[in-house]
Chains A and B, each alone.
Chain A
Amino acid sequence: MTLKKIVETYGTFLAGIVLFLFLIAFAPNFASTANLLNVLKQVSFLSILAFGFTFALISSELDLSFANVCSLSAVVIGFLISTEVAWPLAIVAGLATGIAAGLLNGFLVTVLKVPSLISTLGTASVANGLAFMITGGVAFVGRWDPDFLYLGRGKIGPVPVIILFTLAIFAVALVLSTQTRTGVHIQATGENEEAARRSGINTRGCKVLALTLSGLAAGLTAVFLVANLSSAAPQMAGDFMLNGIAATLLGMTMFTPAKANILGSFVGALIIVMLSNGLVLLGAQYYIQDIMLGIIIIASVAVSASVLKRAAFAL
């Protein structure tokens, strides 16, 4: 492996480690157990959403609706629990909401041929409106079943269960995307739809599945968010929109350069949460985070694009 290739493949990952060491050295309290667990908890919400966005991106589609769909799922769960529906049913309804939104996106993209940039933006707005309709603009809060809250707040030893759930979801997503026929079929669909179709791959099915996985990820995140905060509000996942996109795009600069990949998205989420957390601890103003996110999004795509260009020039 040449040095250039190593930098291309692991550069961002190494930068993440440097950032981690820097924050340990200079950010007050960053290295405390409580803060590190808090970072990992934030990574949980963000990375699950980013995994969904990653699958959509691997199939060459965007899902700009995941944050609003996540809020809608959360509100559905909160509404059902506050009307004393059994919490496992509420969870099923929340996941179903995410899946339904993903199926809708898949239908719009593959059957009605509405570009995903537009169709998912539309879905996002509809989901947002529905969330406000259900709540009437306020949040559901209450004393909910401790068994339900355990999903978001429980611990096994010192480790929050939510982190264990996230690692399990990460493992499933990683294996699905890189080690199964379904995963390569989604990838082939994204790389060259016509070639994939002629090879007998159900390309429409792959796109629908990828967008549905994104919806499912939004539903899963909603479960953990509501259980963690014991409340559900119509805009509660709003901040995850840009963060999730940034994590995925940052992930594209790692491991398999210029390609969306689950491992990259996970590390991307880690870096972004560490950075946000570190900036607060270092006393940076709140608006610095937004500026930082914007820079990460643009810089990641610029780096990925240059890798793609180099690959093209290698012809």
Chain B
Amino acid sequence: MEPDTVFATLLAQIRDVVPELGAHAFARSDSMADLGVNSIERSEVLLLTLDALGLKVSPIAFHGARNIGELSDLIHAKLAA
């Protein structure tokens, strides 16, 4: 799977969980926390993204990403592993 596809899937879940960000122009350097996405919503975004990509890995494996670009890269690396 292409890295861009993973990133697009992640953005789709963010927009699903936080509809207020529907019109936001996301950059890889955006952090969900800085955009006002609360901790429960952040967890949900990650779990939905893993579901959408069919990735059966503990969400804890993706802890530590500082922005959505890094998170997307971590997910992509797991998919490729």
A binds B: no
Instruction: Please report B residues at the A interface, Cβ cutoff 8 Å.
Output: none
Instruction: Please report A residues at the B interface, Cβ cutoff 8 Å.
Output: none
